[in-house]
Structures are given as C-alpha cells and as structure tokens.
Amino acid sequence: MNREQSNNIVSLLDAAAARVAARPALCYQGRECTFKELQHRVQRFAAVLSYRGLKPGERVIIMIPMSPELYVALLAVIRCGAVAVFVDPWISITRIAAFASFAEPSAFIGVPKSHLLRLLNPRLAGLKLTFSTGRVAARIPARYSINQGCRAPALHSVEAVAADDPALITFTTGSSDTPKGTNRTHGFLMAQNSALCETLDYSDQDVDMPMFPVFALRNIAAGITSVVPEINFKRVAEADPQVIRQQIQDHGVTMLTASPPLIDRLASLAAPPPLKKIITGGAPVTAKQLRAWKQAFPAADVNIVYGSTEAEPVAHLALAERLSTEHLPGACCGKPVPAVRAKIVKITHDPIPPDQLAEFELPQGEIGELVVAADHICRDYYRNPRAVVQNKILEPDGTCWHRMGDTGYFDQEGRFFLTGRVHSTIIRNGEMLHAQLEEERLRQLLPDAERVAAFEEHGKLVAVVQTKRANRKDAAELDVDRVIFTSKRLPLDPRHNSKIDYAQLKRVFEKLP
C-alpha cells in the first residue's frame, strides 16, 4: 500500500492550523492553546522524539489525563509514524501495569506519578526514552521533560504512512485478564473522523466541552475548540456542576459531549447553562433522565450516540425520538449511521465461523447479538489473536464484522433497540431473559428504586435493588427467584460511572444468604 503524508491522521491538524491558526484548540485550567501553538508544539516534540531515536512503528506508552500535554504527546508520536498506546486514567493500577508492559513499548510519556508506577515494573524501568510532563532533575522521574531541556535541530514534518499502519492503541473496559488493545490505524481514524462529522452535524463555530479524549481528537482535526472539563474523570458523578457551569460561561461553550452522569449534574442546577447541543453516549440513558434534560436544557439539540471502543459511531437518535419509543421494549438507539452495515445474529458465547454467518442471522424483530461492519470499525486487537477470533467475523471478501457484545433487535423502521449484553443474558428455567428488559420491568414495579440490577445465579433470576425507601416487595411479587434490597451504591463501570458492573456485583452479593 502507498505510503503518503496525507494518510497520516496528524495531517488534519496541519490543515486546521492553516485555516484557523488563532482559534483556541484547547482550553485547560484557565490556559488557552491556539491551533498554531498546538501545531508548533507537536512539530517540536515530534522532532525531539525522532532526534532521541524513536522510529516509525515503535510503540509509546502515554499516561496523561486530558490536557494540552496529552494531545502534544499523542499527536507528536503519531506524527513520527510511531504508535501511541493510550492508557486511560480510570484503569486500576494493576491493570495499568499489565497494559503498559504488554505493549512492549520503546518509550514512555507520562505525568510524574505515572513514572513511579513505571519504575516498579521491570519491563518498563529500563526504557531509555522516557518523558515527564513535569520538571526533571538528575533523570528523575524520567530522563527528559516534555517542555525543558529537549531541543532538536528542526521541526518534524509529517511521516508518510500507509492507511493500514497502526496509529493508536486504546484498551477496552472488558474484565478479561488479557488486555484487549484496539488497533486504530490511520485509515480507521480518518474514517471515524468522517463518520462523526457526517453523523453529528458539527458547526465550524461550535465550542465543545468533550469528556471523551477521542472526541477532542476529532475536534482538533476539524478546527473546533475543546474546553477540557475540570472534573475527576474517575468520579464523574461527583463533579461540581457550578465549576463546570462557570467554565461553560467563561469560554462560550455551545455544546457538551459527555457521559450521562455529567449531564445529570448540570441538569440538577437551579439555572443550568444555556447549551445549544448535547451529545451523550457510553451508557444506557433512561426516559426519566431524558425528561429531566429536556426541562433543564429546553433550547439544546440532544443526541444519544451508540457505539463502543471498537466501533464509534454505530447509531444515534435525538431526544424526542427516543422518548417517543419508551413504551417499546429495550432502549432505542436509532438507525445505524450511513457508513455502517448491521445484522442481528443468534446469541452464542462461541466464535461465529464466517461461512456460517448467514445461518446465524435472525429476522427483523427477533432479539440477538448485534454485529456491524464499516471502515471506522477496528478490524483486530494488538497481540491478541484469541480476541480477534472471538469478536470478529472475517469474510473471504475482506469484510470484517465486529460483534458488539450487545443484545437487541431491529424494529420495522430499521432502528436498533438495546436489550442487554451477551454476557449478562439470563437463562431461567430454560428461558432466555435479557438483563436490561428485566431491569426495566422491575423499575416499573419499584418506582422508588435508585438502581436495579438483574443477573443469573445458578439458573435463577436474582434482582438487586438500590433504594432508601422502606416500601419493599418480596420475590414472588416481583417474579424473581431472589431479591436483595440495599442502601449501598451498586458497582458501576469505571469509565463512565453509568453501567452496572455485573462481575463485581455478583462477587459482592452472591456471598449473601
């Protein structure tokens, strides 16, 4: 395949810097970095990386939270033709160590604290190319600082790459002991940028507050300003809404791209900020939440985006359409975006052979697992052939179908309705039940419940209800085999603080009598 500078996703930054040089690219903790400044910092740091010995194709661990420094490091690595391995801050320390060493990196770039973790890992401690975002003295905590003591003879031009060359590796939220690193190629990132632009109707004058690093990357490619929210990304549900509201006012933010808990926090204010657009995803959203958002942000165009680490976006729909479908089973995610092909297949925990895909496909209306294909869907995982076999269906013509791991069905209008996860499917007395549908049913019976989770325990249906109210019903009334009421918060996913963490939930409650 031809290697061209135009294939490198960082070429979009150069185009944006030429078009809107003086516009702020990133606003962070009261500081602004224009597109021209960001481009210059990326060019300079890419030159330093190359001068210090980083070669195209080598992997670089990046452990920096959302900030200008993150995007300087990320884009400089990719500009060199190397592969950025981004480790999210929400991941546990033990898993961070496993991910980092698994990647077999040639370099490590991180905040000062991340180097303490690096030095404790034998595979990472001996790396010769290490950079800290803070000050460095006597090569502690790293050999070099991103901002100090590193100079190269000239700015770095964009490295020519092939569309299939890897650019970025990010990790899924799965609970497997083996890291699942999604391999995002330059071609994938270009296709994803196009799909997001086509799907979400961005305006050139928008000022976005993105909570997701990939959306800020998309903004940089499109010349749109990103204001990084001042929150603890590990505790989004505890964010101070007054601080966020002040940021929105100070920077003229017009749109918010965030997971549901952050929107909930802003909606709780007596005077929510006057946003024009809200884009959310990462977790199911209830009709109750949407009605609260509609009241809090009456002028906002609210869109719910459906996708995953490997495939984003897959589908989307507006708030009004979602509310119009609340009487139907499952959560409506909308029609697949134009670039995506989609099918529903029989639910199985085994790999699906490509030559049997047609036999697995289910008719419209039946619940099964969603599989999708598009240019902006990752085709493989880094050094994990087992995960490829389990999660991908590779047809002889080159088409790659990704198994979303979500269960649901298509209605007559072609809209996908989410009913649960394959791993949370419940078999009760030989009947297949879907966790999300059971949880919806139980919420209707228990309107005072804060959260409800349903899972299988030895062929039985167990319900765990988080509530502070004393008005409780027994298992027979709820048509479950066992019900547990608790005032404690149910465990949620670490990335978005929105989805039930079923694995942890079972570990906590299976031990109770």
CATH number at residue 361: 2.30.38.10
Q: At what angle do helices 68-79 and 35-51 cross, to 10 degrees?
A: 50
- 22 within a domain of the structure (yes/no): yes
Please give the C-alpha separations between residue 336 and each of 108, 126, 223, 282, 315, in angstroms, as whole numbers: 38, 47, 26, 16, 4
Query: Are 174 and 108 within one domain?
Result: yes
The residue length of the chain stands at 513
96 versus 8: the higher-pLDDT residue is 8
Query: Are 177 and 37 within one domain?
Result: yes
Query: Are 368 and 481 within one domain?
Result: no
- 254 within a domain of the structure (yes/no): no
- 161 within a domain of the structure (yes/no): yes
- 110 within a domain of the structure (yes/no): yes
- 248 within a domain of the structure (yes/no): no
Measured CA to CA, the distance from residue 64 to residue 70 in angstroms comes to 5
**Please, are residues 18 and 46 in contact by the beta-carbon 8 Å criterion?**
no
Query: Are 470 and 455 within one domain?
Result: yes
Categorize the per-residue pLDDT at 492 as very low, low, confident or very high, splitting at 50, 70 and 90: confident
Categorize the per-residue pLDDT at 76 as very low, low, confident or very high, splitting at 50, 70 and 90: very high
Query: Are 374 and 394 within one domain?
Result: yes
In 3D space, the residue among 437, 440, 365, 377 whose CA is nearest the CA of residue 404 turns out to be 377
**What domain range is 47 assigned to?**
5-183
CATH number at residue 492: 3.30.300.30
Query: Are 344 and 372 within one domain?
Result: yes
Q: In the chain, what percentage of residues exceed pLDDT 90?
A: 74
pLDDT at 176: 40
Averaged pLDDT, 116-145? 90
- 68 within a domain of the structure (yes/no): yes
Structure confidence by residue, pLDDT tens digits, 366-379: 999 999 999 999 99
- 389 within a domain of the structure (yes/no): yes
130 backbone dihedrals φ, ψ, rounded to 5°: -130, 140
pLDDT at 105: 94
**DSSP state, residue 161:** B
Asked if residue 501 has pLDDT above 90, the reply is: no
Asked if residue 256 has pLDDT above 90, the reply is: yes
> Which residues lie across from 416 on neighbouring strands?
334, 410
Please provide the average confidence, as pLDDT, over all residues in the chain: 91
Question: Which of 150-164, 334-348, 487-501 shows the lowest mean pLDDT across its residues?
Answer: 487-501
- 234 within a domain of the structure (yes/no): no
Q: What's the domain count of the chain?
A: 3
Query: Are 112 and 124 within one domain?
Result: yes
Averaged pLDDT, 388-399? 94
Query: Are 431 and 398 within one domain?
Result: no
Asked if residue 493 has pLDDT above 80, the reply is: no
Which of the listed residues 157, 183, 209 is the one where a domain comes to its end?
183
Query: Are 366 and 478 within one domain?
Result: no
**Please, are residues 391 and 370 in contact by the beta-carbon 8 Å criterion?**
no
Query: Are 336 and 372 within one domain?
Result: yes
> Which run of H or E residues covers position 409?
strand 400-410
Structure confidence by residue, pLDDT tens digits, 208-243: 999 988 899 999 999 999 999 999 888 888 999 999
pLDDT at 179: 61
Which of the listed residues 423, 442, 465 is the one where a domain comes to its end?
423
Taking the complete model, does pTM exceed 0.95, yes or no? no
pLDDT at 91: 67
Query: Are 352 and 486 within one domain?
Result: no
Spell out a b/e string for 129-161, using b for 16 or more CB atoms within 10 Å of the CB, else e: bbbbbbebeeeebbbbbbbeebebeeebebbeb
Categorize the per-residue pLDDT at 61 as very low, low, confident or very high, splitting at 50, 70 and 90: very high
Which of the listed residues 423, 442, 466 is the one where a domain comes to its end?
423
Structure confidence by residue, pLDDT tens digits, 268-304: 999 999 999 999 998 788 899 999 999 999 999 999 9
Asked if residue 175 has pLDDT above 50, the reply is: no
Query: Are 82 and 143 within one domain?
Result: yes
CATH number at residue 158: 3.40.50.980
pLDDT at 294: 97
Please give the C-alpha separations between residue 180 and each of 175, 300, 420, in angstroms, as whole numbers: 10, 36, 21
Structure confidence by residue, pLDDT tens digits, 131-169: 999 999 888 899 999 987 556 667 789 999 999 999 999
Question: Which of 9-13, 156-160, 338-342 shows the lowest mean pLDDT across its residues?
Answer: 156-160
